[in-house]
Structure 1
Amino acid sequence: MESVKSQSYDVHINELAEASLNQHVANRDYSKIFVLVDENTKTHCLPKFEKIFQHPIDAILEIQSGEENKHIHTCLQLWEDLSNLGGDRKSLLLNLGGGVLTDMGGFVASTFKRGIDFINIPTTLLSMVDASIGGKTGVDLGSLKNQIGVINQPEMVLIFPEFLKTLDQRQVISGYAEMLKHGLIQDKEYWEDLTEKGGFTDASCIQRSIAIKNKVVLQDPTEKGLRKILNFGHTLGHAIESYCLDNPDKKTLLHGEAIAAGMVLEGYLSHELRGLPKLSLDEIKKGFSKYFDKVDFTTDDIEAILQLLKYDKKNSHGNVNFVLLQSIGEAVTDVKIPEELFHKAFAYYKE
């Protein structure tokens, strides 16, 4: 299957991924090779990876999985581990895991010794179609998502859909939310294919999502304009995710579950402010309801979620900026929302 060419690196799939990795390492004189895993990928993915990788591994670094561990204290431990194990500027870090691990591993590599090479090997659907492209690295600040980080590109990204067989269905469906988003913001036909036919774990669908995100990132690598459309659903979605993560009385949501709710809510705002047809809005809500359970929000929950919007990293000059849809497949950026519409959006979501 054809590779996707991004800014300074390629995203390789299946056999091309295996060959490209081994050739790359053979052509570089790396002083040390480290593999970063969590307890899940250590058990389910590392043995498969070791059969693919033809070079010696100097050390396996392990972190605990989960968004609650995506913070600077984990990075401190990894920096210390790299230093104690003799890591230097000619070392390579291979990040074998989901979006939390590749985000954090990329950040650790980008800042250790002022930057060492890293390669991302995403093992979840979410990380394959989202975190694999764009070079965003970083960690959370408390429960606030992705507040600390840098944009820095990996040497390459390697996609092995085989790893998806190690996931439970909830994790797979979480990644599906980002694929649906790609259709909503850029490709109506892709949205229709996904909602009508499914097949979202097929390598061809994964490649199509990667290509859509890559096309956007190539035009705006540092998120000055067009790249903002990738945040559709994420302004309210991140606030929902942070609130549920920080509130012991609420069920912790996976990223895709929170973003799915965010896209329905921001779809309603799109209908009110940008003329998204009501039929399209209802189609979006129906599309997500096929795969994602409705989240129960009380009045107090909604107020707390809206308070978290002020911490969104896309804010500018004190304004909360939203990405909305004019139609399915066409997004607009930097829209400001009248406060009373938020409550109407939640009311529509709860219907």
Structure 2
Amino acid sequence: MPNRKNVKLPHSIHFNSGSWEALNTYLSTSGFSKVFVLTDENTNTHCLPIFQRNCTLKNFEVLSMKAGESHKTIDSCVTLWQQLSEKGADRKSLLINLGGGVVTDLGGFVAATFKRGIHCIHIPTSLLAMVDASVGGKNGVDLGSLKNQIGVIKQPDLVLVTTEFLKTLPEDHFISGLAEMLKHGLIHSEAYWQKVSNYDKHTGDDLDTLILESILIKHSVVSADPNEENLRKTLNYGHTLGHAIESYCLDHSERRALLHGEAIAIGMILATFISSVLLSFPKKKLEEISRVIFNYFPKQEFNRSDIENVIKLLIYDKKNTNGKVHFVLLEAIGSHKINCEVPNSLIYSAFEYYENF
């Protein structure tokens, strides 16, 4: 990849030093009637001051929601819709979503539906949101513990990625974002997989370059297939079982709720094992991928009952058609196959592999 200073970004995505200039230019020329900034409890404390320091517009109103996946609900949307209405928002208003994946997903949905759609900007503050949630125009909320069941696809006006915000991020949330970068490597190329695999989280060398490349990988996929008819499904690698695991843990108080990346990391190991059986994905690469993922994500325990319930949740996956559960699998790193059917017996074998690695 060329030096990031020479990379041409899509017109709607701005990176680091160019982000604040793009925001201030946009705000000064667009004539918005009102500007609102959505935060959660964490970004209100840690990220809003950075925004205020860099944004030349001082006349905006702050909206806040509770932090965490459990608040990514339609009830949170109703509260925000009511606040927007009470504060005089109209169709020429702008909502700036300052936060991680929950804030950008939910805030994008609120903006896309309020008065049939108002303008919005995403300023992702977590690694996960920078490389995944904020790019591509997917907006929505969970239905109970079921992930992203309600939503729309609508692109934000701008995505402003400023890696300064990563300094505010707890380490487990930072590592969670690496799961999506590893996924981008698996579906895109051996070269990018190796770069992320060899990233040293202690030195942080070249992190900005890796983030930018991950953004460009996702954007290229989304641009080719904006409505997820074909290629965009590959971005769900590891997510079929990963989302089911995430939902299962959210819905069972005796288990620790997993961060999105933690669940997807498990899903990628399971999907790669299944790929090795059904599509002859190389066994040595399966072992390499497993080692890399376990280096970042400690093993979780699942008993037979847990696995049975995870499998039951697969019927809610958004890629399914005609009642059939569809997986994204790999023939090799960078070579994928969509709409794969997987027998339950093989899913049990995949969990056995995960447990015994």
1:43 aligns with 2:48: no
CA distance in 2, matches of 1:197, 1:313: 32
Instruction: State the 1:75 CA deviation.
Output: 0.1
Equivalent residue of 1:290, what SS? Answer: helix
Shift in CA distance, 145/201, structure 1 to aligned 2, threshold 3 Å? farther
**In the alignment, residue 350 of structure 1 is paired with which amino acid?**
E
Aligned partner of 1:260 in structure 2 is 265
Cα shift readout 1:230-264 (whole Å, capped 9, x = no counterpart): 00000000000000000011111000000000000
Aligned partner of 2:314 in structure 1 is 309
1:111 aligns with 2:106: no
CA distance in 2, matches of 1:58, 1:186: 40
Aligned partner of 1:33 in structure 2 is 35
Shift in CA distance, 60/129, structure 1 to aligned 2, threshold 3 Å? same
Aligned partner of 1:59 in structure 2 is 61
1:279 aligns with 2:281: no
Q: Is the 8 A contact 1:140 1:148 kept in 2?
A: yes
1:67-106 matches, within 5 Å, as 67-106=69-108
Aligned partner of 1:169 in structure 2 is 171
Shift in CA distance, 51/160, structure 1 to aligned 2, threshold 3 Å? same
**In the alignment, residue 288 of structure 1 is paired with which amino acid?**
I
- Please, which of 282, 296, 318 is the counterpart of residue 323 of structure 2? 318
CA distance in 2, matches of 1:276, 1:294: 22
Displacement over 6 Å in runs of 4+: none
1:10 aligns with 2:12: yes
Q: Is the 8 A contact 2:52 2:58 kept in 1?
A: no
TM-score, normalization by structure 2: 0.96
Instruction: State the 1:197 CA deviation.
Output: 3.4
Aligned partner of 2:140 in structure 1 is 138
CA distance in 2, matches of 1:14, 1:216: 22
Aligned partner of 2:220 in structure 1 is 215
Cα shift readout 1:183-226 (whole Å, capped 9, x = no counterpart): 00011111111112334872111100001111111110000001
Cα shift readout 1:120-139 (whole Å, capped 9, x = no counterpart): 00000000000121100000
Cα shift readout 1:66-103 (whole Å, capped 9, x = no counterpart): 00000000000000000000000000000000000000
Identity level (%): 52
1:249 aligns with 2:249: no
Cα shift readout 1:269-288 (whole Å, capped 9, x = no counterpart): 10001110100111110110
CA distance in 2, matches of 1:335, 1:161: 37
> What is the root-mean-square deviation of aligned Cα atoms in Å?
1.2
Equivalent residue of 1:197, what SS? Answer: coil
Instruction: State the 1:313 CA deviation.
Output: 1.2
CA distance in 1, matches of 2:304, 2:59: 52
CA distance in 2, matches of 1:178, 1:295: 19
Q: Is the 8 A contact 1:176 1:200 kept in 2?
A: no
Cα shift readout 1:295-316 (whole Å, capped 9, x = no counterpart): 1101110000000001111110
**In the alignment, residue 58 of structure 2 is paired with which amino acid?**
P
CA distance in 2, matches of 1:175, 1:307: 27
TM-score, normalization by structure 1: 0.97
**In the alignment, residue 131 of structure 2 is paired with which amino acid?**
V
Aligned partner of 2:298 in structure 1 is 293
CA distance in 2, matches of 1:229, 1:139: 21
Instruction: State the 1:5 CA deviation.
Output: 4.1
CA distance in 1, matches of 2:306, 2:253: 12
Equivalent residue of 1:120, what SS? Answer: strand
Q: Is the 8 A contact 1:185 1:329 kept in 2?
A: yes
Instruction: State the 1:56 CA deviation.
Output: 2.6
Q: Is the 8 A contact 2:272 2:329 kept in 1?
A: yes
